[in-house]
Structure 1
Amino acid sequence: MIERILQRDTWAKALAVFLALFMWYTAMDGQWETRVYDLRLEFSDAPGKIVTFRNPDMVKVTFQGLARALDKIDPSKLIVPVDISSLEPGTNQIPIDLDLRLGGVNVSDIYPKVAVVALDVKESKPVSVNVETRGVPNEEFEAQAPVPDITVVEVTGPRTQVESVVGVFGTVDISGAAGTIANRQVPLTAVDAQNNAVPNVELNPDHVSVSVPMKSRPPAKTVPVRAETQGAPKTGYRVKAVHVSPSSAKIRGDASATGGLSYIATEKIDVTDRTQTFTYPANLIIPQGVTSETVRVNVTVEIEEDIVKKTFAGVFVQIHSLPVGYAFELNPTTVDITIEGRRDVIEEIERNVEENSDYLEAFIDASWIKEPGSHKMVVNVRGLPGTVRLDSIVPSHVILELRER
Structure 2
Amino acid sequence: MRRAAQEATLLITVVVLALVVWFVIADAENREIETRLGFSLQVDVIDLGSNLAVVGDPLPVSVTVVGREEDVESARPEHFKATVSLRNRSAGRHSLPVRVEAAEGDVRVRAVQPETAVVILQETVEREVPVVVETSNPPPLGFRVGASEVLPESAIVSGIATEVEAVDSLVARLDLGGATVSVERSVLLEARTAGGGAVTQVVVNPRFAQVRVPIDQELFRRTASVLPDITGTPAEGYRVSSVRVSPATVDVLVSVDVLDAEVRVLTQPVDITGVEGNVATAVALVFGGGAAPAGDSDTTARVVVVVEPVITSVRLPVDIETFGVREQLELSFAWPLTAQVTLRGPVALISALTGPLEPIQVNLGSYATGRHRIDLSWTPPEGLELVELAPTQVTVTLNAIPQPEPEEPTDPEVDESPDEEQSSAEEDESE
TM-score range, shorter chain: 0.3 to 0.5
- Over alpha carbons, which structure has the higher Rg? 2
TM-score by length of 1: 0.40
